[in-house]
Structure 1
Amino acid sequence: MLPSQIVPRLADQGIYLASESTFYRVMHQHKQQHHRGRSQKPSSNPLTSHSATKPNQVWMWDITWILVPVKGIFFYFYLILDLFSRKIVGWEIWDEESSEYASQLMRRTVLSEQCVVRISPLILHSDNGSPMKGSTLLETLYSLGITPSRSRPRVSNDNPYAESIFRTCKYRPNSPVKGFQSMDEAREWTLQFVRWYNTEHRHSGLNFLTPNQRHQGQSEKIFAKRKQVYEAAKAKHPSR
């Protein structure tokens, strides 16, 4: 676990052991400050084409393939992400890319987030894949009062946050390298991933809050508590 994750996690529990820089210095002394895991080194995300000031203003959605042992066959991970909180608000695993499946997921997500009635329209951003432009999905969006938005032409990384989560998912340490034996197995693993991501993962883009904390409006309370912990540690060791 990175020091950028360790320090705020401990602060949220009222504990302060050392600063981020101290953790990194100790890691460097023990030759542990290097990139680990199967993924490439992370790079900064480009700016998104939308902005949000609260949950359920802008959603992003995408589909990615999931490996199975049989060559040439895939399962597909459908994902809906809230831009403001980075919370995974909707997901499903199916055996094909389909506008009909996407419509079902969209209706369930709107109900689960209780955003059927809203003052301003919800924006749903995606890339230009065929399921995103299917007539069934578009009719569903219009009936729900959702405004569709798609990536700009010839801009391959215009939906970076959804793509970033797929990368995090596929390179989790417990992600099956050879794929899933069945759709039920894939759904069970993905359920555990979504729970971890929403409730445990401290997101660097959220100042190391979990997506659930941000989505539920707990930011100010948590930041105030961290500030007290850091100031108490500074008062105890002013020379540091």
Structure 2
Amino acid sequence: SLRERGAADQADQALMDTWTALRGLHVTTRAAAVLTGMHRSTALRRAAPAPAGPARAPAAPVNKLSAAECARVVEVLNSARFVDAAPIQVWATLLDEDTYLCSVSTMYRLLNENKQVKERRRLARHRKAVCPELVATAPRQVYSWDITKLRGPAKGLYYDAYVMIDIYSRYIVGVHVHARECGVLAKEMMEQIFGTYGIPHVVHADRGTSMTSNTVAGLLCDLGVTRSHSRPKVSNDNPYSESWFKTLKYAPTFPDRFESIHHARDFMDEFVDWYNHEHRHSGIGLHTPADVFYGLAAEKDTQRRIVLAEARARHRHRFSQDRAPKIIDLPETAAINPPKPAEPEDQTTAA
């Protein structure tokens, strides 16, 4: 109640008066706090003189964008060209066109201020896997493949999309759409891919019937390719294929149903062409899979860093670092369940 609150305020003031009187007698702040029962920091804060004059407003950051610049960024993000693209994709695309508007975090902040940022998908979380352990340091070393279902024109009718991906570059080396799933069709796809791009060191897949069929196993054995399979009931032992299927099926242009198998094949060909040659992938330094697969990423990386250096020279106060963002660094390796570093031996045990 108000009466109780007033009594408490009076008691606090009495303690503060006592603390002030003790300080006037040259008693230390610590001893005065013990004698009055007040916390030392509370007493010091209350005893501090109030600042003279009106409170100063915080200074505006020196790297703050102007209102016109903020409006320009939002206008570009909401343009017909970029309205369905993530800010990081927009940033990389503009950077390749020698244009720098602001950082990726600033794009997200401006979208958030306009209530245009929200995750609409349910994200699965799985436990960490430890094996199989596959590492690729260049394209054409490790391929991952899987089969996904595409809904046909009628309920219960599906088409099977066979997809193989190079895990280092994320380049889709082959896509075949068939009316059924079998090992013979998988073998035909592999023969075509290996004849076009060369024979990889390892081919990884889950444990579906086509992946473990004798037809596929015999082909890989004859070619000297190492077979690798996911562990039973562990879905993210094949992360590159599963991630690509999510990218495919959450694309704005992905249809609810395909009118025919020819419609499905045409769509997959068009989507894969876009993914390989236009999509900037965050796992490979925001380069396109084709640039990494064919060895063109190094030249583009140099040009990007020149553009960023020029922007930093013009607006030095807007950059907190003297180096390019790490997001454009091309990783040295790509791995499925990367091996854990070996723990150092205990010297006592070793002795």
* TM-score, length of structure 1 as denominator length: 0.91
Match of residue 67 from structure 2: none
Q: 2:79 is matched with which residue?
A: none
- The match for 1:40 among 122, 130, 133 is 122
Shift of 1:144: 2.3
One-letter amino acid of the structure 2 residue matched with residue 173 of structure 1: P
1:24 CA displacement: 1.5
Distance change >3 Å, CA 5–CA 190, structure 1 → 2: same
What are the Cα deviations for residues 162-203 of structure 1, in whole angstroms up to 9, with x where unaligned? 0111111112111111x1121111000000110011011111
Larger-Rg structure: 2
Residue ranges of structure 1 left out of the alignment (5+ in a row): none
Distance 1:153 1:70 in 2: 32
Question: Following the alignment from structure 1 to structure 2, what is the Cα–Cα distance between the partners of residues 10 and 109?
Answer: 33
The equivalences for 1:174-185 within 5 A come to: 174-177=253-256, 179-185=257-263
- Quote how far apart the aligned CAs of 1:143 are: 2.1
Separation of aligned partners in 1, 2:162 and 2:178: 8
Counterpart selection for 1:122 from 201, 225, 241: 201
Question: 165, 190, 205: which one pairs with 2:244?
Answer: 165
Which residue does 2:303 correspond to in 1?
225
Distance 1:45 1:10, change over 3 A: farther
Q: How does 1:43-192 map to 2 (within 5 A)?
A: 49-113=133-197, 115-116=198-199, 122-177=201-256, 179-192=257-270
CA separation in 2, counterparts of 1:108 and 1:46? 34
- 1:30 maps to 2:132: no
CA deviations over 1:196-231 (Å, ceiling 9, x no partner): 110111111112111101111122222211111111
Cα pair 1:49 1:158 within 8 Å, conserved:
no
Cα distance in structure 1, aligned partners of 2:126 and 2:307 = 30
Larger RCO: 1 or 2 (CA < 8 Å, sep 6+): 1
For residues 165 and 231 of structure 2, what CA distance do their matches in structure 1 show?
Answer: 19
Aligned length: 232
C-alpha distance in 2 between matches for 1:9 and 1:93: 30
Which one-letter code corresponds to 1:184 in the other structure?
A: H
Query: Which string of whole-angstrom CA distances, capped at 9 and with x for unpartnered residues, describes residues 59-78 of structure 1?
Result: 00100111012222210000
Shift of 1:145: 2.3
Partner of 2:105: 21
**CA RMSD of superposed structures (Å):** 1.9
Give the percent of matched residue pairs that are identical in Structure 1 and Structure 2. 38
Asked if the contact 1:3–1:20 (Cα under 8 Å) also holds between the matched residues in 2, the reply is: yes
1:99–1:68 distance in 2 versus 1, CA, 3 Å: same
Segments of structure 2 that go 5 or more residues without pairing to the other structure are 1-84, 319-351
Q: 1:58 to 1:188 in 2, by over 3 A?
A: same
The one-character-per-residue Cα deviations of 1:69-107 (angstroms, maximum 9, x if unpaired) are 222221000000001101100110001110000000000
Q: Distance in 1 between matches of 2:195 and 2:128?
A: 31
Q: Provide the rounded CA distance (Å) in 2 between the counterparts of 1:44 and 1:233.
A: 41
- Report the Cα distance in structure 1 between the residues aligned to 2:135 and 2:195, rounded to whole angstroms: 23
Corresponding letter in the other structure for 2:186: A
Deviation at 1:4, TM superposition (A): 1.1
2:126–2:236 CA contact under 8 A, matched in 1: no
Match of 2:30 in 1: none
Counterpart residue number, 1:203: 281
